[in-house]
Amino acid sequence: MDEKNRQREGVKAAGGWATVAAELRSAIDSGRHVPGSRLPSERALSEQFGVSRVTMRRAIAELEGEGLLRVARGSGAYVRADMPVRFQLGDKVRFSKDLTATDASLTRKVFSEREVPANTDIAARLNLQPGEAVLEVCVVAYADALPVSVVMRSCSAKRFPGLAEKFAAMGSFTAALKDYGVTDYRRRSTDITARMPTEAEARFLQQSRLTPVLAYAGEDIDADGTIISCQIGCFASERVVVTV
């Protein structure tokens, strides 16, 4: 079955503009439609997916709202050259797999690390007693040279001594955690809200304090269900699309 027929069958099975939008999103993420390129006409896409032009128009509007497309009246839909980074939110949060950006180099940098007494909120998140020592690691993620997120990752200093140095050397928390016997972990929950950035967040993200951020907080647990870390941070809302 060729690609066009596969897409038609997929849309028929699932139905609706959301399925068409998902197919187009996948094509953009995989590089089949490169940044700056013009999509086929609305009519051609309708025929390709076997849907009405109204359905296709709704799918395109959805991707325009996500920041993936730019629609020019009388000209068509274009893949944005300044494409935002896409973060796939799931129960297994992995930077290298969940954060994607077409033709962008994704990196992270440790800006600070310190050992401090756990306050009431962090202690509750980590299932520790207030005042117990926790390791706080501030990490900024970049798409090329542009910062897209900043997060403070906290964990028990007693259980994970030297974690910041191991992460800096390996470039991966997943790899670093294996040195402590954590072979796998998953996100227990994630709360996301929109708010204005703090002065420090705006500085790290190189953006105005008048531009909202997508703030998030969550806890990671190991295979036994034990909490290993909590993360409190934010995404630059104009540079990141969060997909659930």
The ranges assigned to domains in the chain are 3-79, 85-243
Which is nearest to 56 in space by CA: 69, 66, 46, 67?
46
pTM of the model: 0.66
Residues composing the chain:
244
Say whether 127 sits in a helix, a strand or coil.
coil
Sheet containing strand 133-143, edge to edge, reads 106-117, 133-143, 146-156, 227-236, 213-222, 185-195
User: What is the per-residue pLDDT for 217?
Assistant: 94
User: What is the per-residue pLDDT for 103?
Assistant: 55
User: Which residues of the chain register pLDDT less than 70?
Assistant: 1-15, 81-84, 88-104, 244
User: What is the per-residue pLDDT for 6?
Assistant: 53
User: What is the per-residue pLDDT for 75?
Assistant: 80
Rounded to 5°, the CA angle 109-110-116 comes to: 165
Alpha helices in the chain (DSSP H): 3-14, 17-29, 42-49, 53-65, 95-98, 120-126, 163-170, 173-178, 199-205
User: What is the per-residue pLDDT for 117?
Assistant: 97
- Residue 151 to residues 132, 170, 236: CA-CA distances in angstroms? 21, 18, 11
Side-chain half-sphere CA neighbours of 36 within 13 A: 2
User: What is the per-residue pLDDT for 29?
Assistant: 78
* Amino acid residing at 153: R
User: What is the per-residue pLDDT for 14?
Assistant: 47
User: What is the per-residue pLDDT for 97?
Assistant: 56
User: What is the per-residue pLDDT for 215?
Assistant: 96
User: What is the per-residue pLDDT for 144?
Assistant: 76
Considering the domain 3-79, what is its CATH architecture? Orthogonal Bundle (1.10)
User: What is the per-residue pLDDT for 81?
Assistant: 66
User: What is the per-residue pLDDT for 93?
Assistant: 64
Fold of 85-243: Chorismate lyase (3.40.1410)
User: What is the per-residue pLDDT for 13?
Assistant: 43
User: What is the per-residue pLDDT for 207?
Assistant: 84
